[in-house]
A and B are shown apart, each in its own frame.
Chain A
Amino acid sequence: MRPEIKEYNYDWMLGSLLKVASEIGNSSEKEIQYLTNYIPYFKGTLSVLLREGEVGTCFIRLLDKYFDNILTAHQNSKKISAITFCLSPALFHAMNIVPVTLEVMTGLAGLLWKRGAYDYLDYGCELGFTETSCSSQRGALGAYLAGLGEEIDFLVCDTPGVCDTNANAFAFASTFMEKPFFQLNYPQTIGDEKTRKYHLDDYKDLITFLKEQTGKDLDVDRLREVLKEVDKQDDILAEIEDFYCLVPNPIPVIFNLFIYIGRFISAGLPEYTELLELMLEKVQQNAQKGITGLHFEQEKARVFMCYIDHYTLNLDFFDWLNRRGISHLGGILSRNFRDNTRYASELEKSTYGIDTSTFETMLTSLSEMNATLPMVRSIRGPFDKPNMWLEESISLARLYHADCVVYNGTPGCRNTWGMVKPFAREVEKAGFPVHIMNGDAFDDRVESWESTVNRLEEFLSIRGLL
C-alpha cells in the first residue's frame, strides 16, 4: 500500500467528505458552483445527486449520519459490527450496535474518490487474500485489515449457503483481525415450514451471539420501535413499487440506488423514512403529470438489472442511463419481498410480514425479513427451482414491462458466473433480450467504463432497443 494512503483512516476520509457535502442543502447555487472547483473527483457524483434536488441532498445527509454513527460509536459506548449488505441492519439498530456494511463502504469509495477503492482492493491481496475474491467486500476490507478504520468489534454474515466468496471474506477477516465471527447459514429452499423454523432457530443464535458481544440484553421495546419504523418504510416502498408498472416509468434512475443503499444501512431509522417520503412525493408528481423520471430524454427503453448495478466512478452508469433515455426497473437489490407488494402475490411463498405484537412474532418477522434479502432469497438454491433467481427475474421483468434484462456483477461472483449462461438462455426464451456485462461493478480496472458502455450500446442497438 502506498505510504500516503496510510496517513488517514478510510472511514474518516469518506465521512469527512460527506459531512461537508451534507451542508449543500443549505447552500446557494453560486456557493455550489464555487465549491465544484475544489472537488474535481467528487463533482461528477455530486452533480448526479444534486439533480434530484431535495431527495439528493437528503440522501447525502443519510450517508453523513451513517458515517457519524460509525466514527462516534466507540466514544458513545457502542460496538461496531462488520456486516454484509444482505444482512438486515434493523436488529443491530435495535441493539445499539453500529453496522459497517462492507459493500456499501467499497462502493462509496468509487463514488467519492478519483481511484475508487483500488489501493485498498490491492492491499488485501498483499496480505494473502485472493485477487479473484469479490471486490465488493475486498475494497473496504483492505482498509480494515490495514487498521485504517474504526476498530471492528465483531463480524456477522449470512452468506454461507448463498455466497462463498462473501462468507470467506468475513471468515478471513475474522481470523486476520482476531475478532469474533458469527454466520447465519441458509438452506437451499425457501417458503416451506421446515425452512422457516430453521431460519428462526439460526436467528435466535445470532441474537445470543450479539448479546454476548455487547454484554446487553435485547430491549424489546426498542426492537418494536425499530420494526414499526421498518413497517412504515415497507409501506412507502410498496407504494413506490407500484409505479414501476407505469409506462413511462416515473421513477428517476438514481432512486434505485437510494432505495437499496438506504435499506442496507438505515432500515428502521427515521432518516431512511424521510428519504422514502421525499422520493414517493417526487414519483407521485411525475406520475400525475404522466412524465418519465428521466431528466434529459423521453423513455426509449426499459431495462431490468437482474443482478447488481455498476458503481463506476462518478455514478457514470446511472448518468448514462439517464442521458440515453433508459428507465431502470430495479434489480435483485431493489426488492424487499414484503407481503404487501404487488410482485409478492406472484411469489407468495417467499415473502415476509411484520407483526410487532409479541417478542416471538417480532423474531419471526426479523428472521423472515432477513431471509428475503437480495442473494439470500434467490441464489441460495438451483436457479430454476421455485422462488429462485430465474422465477424472480422473469416475474419482475414481466410485471414491469422490461424491454431487456442486463446482468452485471463482479468476477468474484462464483455463484452467478456458474449459472448465468444457462440463466440468460432461459430468460431469452421467456422473450427478453439479455446482455451479460463482463466488468466489475466495484473495480474499473477490470473493464474500463468506456469499454463497458461500448458493449452496452452495441447490445441495445443490435437488439433494436434504442
Chain B
Amino acid sequence: MTIVAGCDVGSLTTKAVLLKDNRLISTSLIRSKAKPQESARIAMEELFAKADLSEKEMEYCVGTGYGREKLAFVNAVKSEIACHGKGAKWLLPSVKTIIDIGGQDCKVIKIDESGTATRFVTNDKCASGTGRFLEVMAQVLGIDISELGQQSSRSKSPVTLASTCTVWAQADVIKQINSGVPIEDIGAGINLAMAKRIATLANSIKPENDICMTGGVAKNQGVMSLLEQLMGCRIRKIRKSDPQLAGAIGAALFAQEKLLSA
C-alpha cells in the first residue's frame, strides 16, 4: 500500500494530490502565495487533512512548477512538461497532444505511449495567451471567471478584441462596455481572442489525436469549443478528475514509479 504525493506550484494556483495504489485519495487546490514554499505547505496541509492522514504516511513526493527545487518536503523534482504529459495520460489514456493553459503560460505537449513528452512548444512572453488574461478580462466585465466560458454560447456576435497585448485588450473591453455592447458578446470576444492565440501555437506543433486540455482554462467551455473550430479537430474532455490537477497527478505518478523501481 503505497501512498505518494505530487505537488505542482503554479503562479496563480498550487495543486497537490495523494495517490494510493494508483487511486486519487485526496486533492487540494489553493490560490498561490508569493513564496512557493508557503503555497506548497498550505496545499499539502489541506491535502493530508482531507485524507485524514499524516504526512509521515507519505512515502515519496515529487514536486513540479516554479520554485520546485526550494520545496523542503519533496524527494525529487520533475519538469512541468513531463508531469503534465504523465498526468494527462492517466486522466485520458488515449491522449497524444495536450494543450495546457495555466496562469502564466501556455504549453502544447505531444506524448508517446508511455506519457513521455516527445515535443513541446510554449508561449509565455506575455499574458495574452494565459489564464491571467482571462482573469483580468473577467474582472473588467464584472463577472466571475467561472462564468466567462458560457458567454460564447450566449453570444450572437462576438467582438474582435486587441489580442496582442492584455493592457490594450483591457482598454478595448472597457470601451465596448461603455458603448453598450452586450456582456455576452464581449465575453465571447475574449474567449475568441484567447483561442486564436492558442490555436496558432498548437498548430505549429502539428497536433495528433486524441487532444485534450489541462490547466485551469480547460474548464472554460467557450475557449475549448472555439479551439475545436479553429483547429478543425475534436478536443476530448477530461472527466476522470479536475483537469487543473494534471501536473500534480503526473508528479505523483513519477513518485509512484520511483518507489516501485527502488
Contacts and interface: CB of A to CB of B under 8 A. Distances in A.
Tell whether A pairs with B: yes
A318 B199 CA distance: 33
A1 B200 CA distance: 7
Interface stretch (A66-74, A122-130, A163-171): A122-130
B204 A451 contact: no
A451 B178 CA distance: 13
A451 B164 CA distance: 14
B204 A448 contact: no
Nearest to B204: A126
Interface string B218-235: 000000000001111000
Contacts of A115: 160
Contacts of A445: 160-164, 193
What class of interface size applies to chain A in its complex with B?
20 to 34
A451 B168 CA distance: 8
A3 B229 CA distance: 8
A122 B172 contact: no
A115 B192 CA distance: 13
Interface in A415-460: 444-448, 450-451, 454
Interface in B156-201: 160-165, 168, 171-172, 175, 193, 196, 199-200
Contacts of A451: 162, 168, 171-172, 175
Nearest to A450: B175
A30 interface: no
Nearest to B229: A2
Given A2-B230, A127-B204, A445-B163, A122 B196 contact: yes
Contacts of A411: 164
Contact of A126 (B165, B175, B203, B229): B203
A128 B204 contact: yes
A125 B160 contact: no
A247 to B, nearest CB: 35
A122 B162 contact: no
Given A445-B193, A447-B168, A125 B200 contact: yes
A1 B161 contact: no
Which of B163, B164, B171 has the largest number of chain A CB atoms within 10 A? B164
A122 B200 contact: yes
A17 B106 CA distance: 38
Given A2-B229, A2-B230, A115-B160, A448 B172 contact: yes
Contacts of B204: 125-128
A122 B192 CA distance: 14
Contacts of B230: 2
Contact of A448 (B161, B199, B200): B161
Contacts of A123: 200, 203
A450 B163 CA distance: 14
Contact of A446 (B165, B175, B199, B231): B165
Nearest to B171: A451
A450 B172 contact: yes
Which of B193, B196, B200, B229 has the largest number of chain A CB atoms within 10 A? B200
Contacts of B196: 118, 122
Nearest to B165: A446
A123 B204 CA distance: 9
Contacts of A454: 175
A448 B200 CA distance: 20
A145 to B, nearest CB: 13
A2 B160 contact: no
B255 to A, nearest CB: 36
A3 B234 CA distance: 13
Nearest to A115: B160
A408 to B, nearest CB: 16
Contacts of A450: 172, 175
A448 B172 CA distance: 7
B232 A448 contact: no
Nearest to A2: B230
A123 B164 CA distance: 16
Contacts of B168: 446-448, 451
A162 to B, nearest CB: 25
Interface string A389-413: 0000000000000000000000100
B204 to A, nearest CB: 4
Nearest to B128: A445
Nearest to B200: A122
25 contacts: A1-B203, A2-B231, A2-B232, A3-B232, A123-B203, A125-B200, A125-B204, A126-B200, A127-B204, A128-B204, A445-B161, A445-B162, A445-B163, A445-B193, A446-B162, A446-B165, A447-B162, A447-B168, A448-B162, A448-B168, A450-B172, A450-B175, A451-B162, A451-B171, A451-B175
Interface of B: 160-165, 168, 171-172, 175, 193, 196, 199-200, 203-204, 229-232
Interface of A: 1-3, 115, 118, 122-123, 125-128, 411, 444-448, 450-451, 454
Given A2-B231, A448-B162, 15 more contacts: A1-B203, A2-B232, A3-B232, A118-B196, A122-B200, A123-B203, A126-B203, A126-B204, A128-B204, A445-B161, A446-B164, A446-B165, A450-B172, A451-B171, A454-B175
List the 8 closest A-B pairs by CB distance, nearest first. A3-B232, A126-B203, A122-B200, A126-B204, A446-B164, A445-B163, A448-B162, A448-B172
